[in-house]
Amino acid sequence: MVWNNLVVVKNLKLWSGRFDKNTEKAVDDFNSSIRFDSRMYKQDILGSIAHADMLGKCGIIKIDESELIQKTLNEICEDIQNGLVTFETDAEDIHMNIEKILIDRIGDTGKKLHTGRSRNDQVALDIRMYLIDECSIIKNMILQLMETVLGICKNNLDTVMPGYTHLQRAQPVTLAHHFTAYFQMFKRDIGRLEDCVKRMDVMPLGSGALAATTYPLDRYYVSEKLGFSDITANSMDGVSDRDFVIELASVLSVFMMHISRLSEEIIIWSTGEFSFIELDDAYSTGSSIMPQKKNPDVAELARGKTGRMYGNLISILTVMKALPLAYNKDMQEDKEAIFDSVDTVKMCIPAFKGMLATMRINKDIMRKAAGKGFTNATDFADYLVKKGISFRNAHEITGRLVNDCIALNSGIEDMELNFLKKYSPLIEADVYEAIDLKTCVNQRNIPGGPSYEAVLKTVEQGYVFLESKKDM
């Protein structure tokens, strides 16, 4: 239509004043992000409420207008939660959808909400708020997983098993010692997650499109209302920074790498060749053709999904690697990748935790496996050192003894004392106690070692750590 020689485009878009044509449907579909960013509706509305409150407080809009906008936004949030709102692709994203609904309900007053604000700083705010909320959920889930791990440790302080290097039997340890290693990994994951949130916890609203605004906004007021610790220090960085998205993708990738390592061991241990554990039926699957099969699908899927997490991290890094300041539409691509990483972790942890909590541990088989492969050979060498032989000579003597025992198909502990004395006259009957598997484990009684006492202390410290996180 034409009015006073002005062409008016009949268009739903709130930015259409500059344009003479409607956007092609294919472009609308390509450009729209509502299909995945709608999950941020609550954060978008909370940010808009704080912004409207500040606009009224600063006298940029009237108080009654601010109050009407806030009231209506709360109503919209409730309607969305009750499934009464249908988002439109034409409105592009969650920000424009909510603003359009607001304007439809209260008319021109709703158009004042966007005063002093751009979608660029709005989306930067929403994604920070959303990911901070998700980090809190994931942190609690990891802590619950760690509690399950500690329970396994507590119940297996004296469950002797072989420790491995190069996937070859190396030295005897306990299952508790083995699992406290994973507890330490997950503890570091918690630390990384907390550090990531610290850098996420800055409020970008007020940055505008890139050069802030001429309106006298009170950014600190908005920051305080939304629970942020600080505000961004540079408007261009405020709208274009996605370091926190990359960092979270990295943190979650490292966590899933730890899950994948444990998955690999669960898969190996559940094989007939090892039989260290048996997975509960509720956390296993069968074969469509082989009726005897019991497959560790939870562990295998967790291992497989780790590669997906790496892909998301590389995707976001690649999107950001050559972007000039400030905002670019490329940055819309960060959402699906980080949302997928968040969803994948949240889906993985409960299944993985349940699998660990219900698996049956075959302690006798683990103990027998520790007795094979000369896992006490290092202790035999240490025995010789304590008798006054240098470690290098003791190492050589023990190596020759092991080689001969292999030929005889016997363990060191199976050989008679006279046979052992051929390798050193210093060897006495006390050697059998020295190379007993329990002795091998419990003599390593230093902080971080596998002894019953050392691991018990580590487990107790683990529970203290978990308790310290309950109120955070």
Q: What is the pLDDT of residues 343-396, one digit of tens each?
A: 999 999 999 999 999 999 999 999 999 999 999 999 999 999 999 999 999 999
Question: Can you count the helices (H) and strands (E) in the chain?
Answer: 19, 8
Dist. CA 151–CA 139, nearest whole Å = 19
Confidence of residue 91 (pLDDT cuts 50, 70, 90): confident
Beta bridge partners of 162: 172
Average pLDDT over residues 7-34: 62
202, pLDDT greater than 50: yes
Output the DSSP codes for 311-375.
HHHHHHHHHHTTPPSS--GGGGHHHHHHHHHHHHHHHHHHHHHHHHHHPEE-HHHHHHHHTSS-T
Dist. CA 378–CA 376, nearest whole Å = 6
pLDDT at 160: 98
Q: What is the dihedral of CA 466, 470, 471, 472, to 10 degrees?
A: 70
Confidence of residue 3 (pLDDT cuts 50, 70, 90): very low
pLDDT at 421: 95
Confidence of residue 303 (pLDDT cuts 50, 70, 90): very high
Confidence of residue 4 (pLDDT cuts 50, 70, 90): very low
The angle that helices 94-106 and 63-81 make with each other, rounded to 10 degrees, is 120
pLDDT at 5: 44
33 vs 296 pLDDT, higher one: 296
pLDDT at 472: 67
Contact present, 154 and 194 (Cβ < 8 Å): no
Residues 6 or more apart whose CB falls under 8 angstroms from that of 223 comprise 203, 205, 229, 230, 231
6, pLDDT greater than 60: no
2, pLDDT greater than 90: no
- Pair of tokens at residue 412: 């060191």
pLDDT at 7: 39
Question: Quick check: helix, strand or coil at residue 384?
Answer: helix
Q: Do β-strands 6-7 and 160-165 pair in parallel, antiparallel, or remain unpaired? A: unpaired
Q: What is the pLDDT of residues 233-260, one digit of tens each?
A: 999 999 999 999 999 999 999 999 999 9
pLDDT at 8: 37
Dist. CA 63–CA 144, nearest whole Å = 46
Dist. CA 442–CA 174, nearest whole Å = 10
Q: Do β-strands 202-203 and 230-231 pair in parallel, antiparallel, or remain unpaired? A: parallel
Dist. CA 427–CA 447, nearest whole Å = 29
Average pLDDT over residues 93-97: 93
pLDDT at 299: 97
Q: What is the pLDDT of residues 100-151, one digit of tens each?
A: 999 999 999 999 999 999 999 999 999 999 999 999 999 999 999 999 999 9
pLDDT > 90: what percent of the chain? 89
Q: What is the pLDDT of residues 317-343, one digit of tens each?
A: 999 999 999 999 999 999 999 999 999
Q: Do β-strands 160-165 and 168-174 pair in parallel, antiparallel, or remain unpaired? A: antiparallel
Instruction: Tell me which of 136, 229, 275, 287 is the catalytic residue.
Output: 287
Dist. CA 338–CA 309, nearest whole Å = 9
12, pLDDT greater than 60: no
Confirm whether 177 is a catalytic residue: no
Dist. CA 204–CA 198, nearest whole Å = 14
Confirm whether 263 is a catalytic residue: no
Beta bridge partners of 172: 162
9, pLDDT greater than 70: no
Q: Is 396 exposed, middle or buried (0-12, 13-18, 19+ CB in 10 A)?
A: middle
CB atoms within 10 A of CB 229: 12
Domains and CATH numbers, the chain: 32-115 (1.10.275.10), 120-368 (1.20.200.10), 372-469 (1.10.40.30)
216 vs 19 pLDDT, higher one: 216
Contact present, 314 and 300 (Cβ < 8 Å): no
191, pLDDT greater than 70: yes
Residues 6 or more apart whose CB falls under 8 angstroms from that of 437 comprise 160, 172, 367, 370, 371, 375, 376
User: How long a stretch of residues is the chain?
Assistant: 472
Instruction: Tell me which of 166, 250, 341, 468 is the catalytic residue.
Output: 166
Q: What is the pLDDT of residues 382-438, one digit of tens each?
A: 999 999 999 999 999 999 999 999 999 999 999 999 999 999 999 999 999 999 999
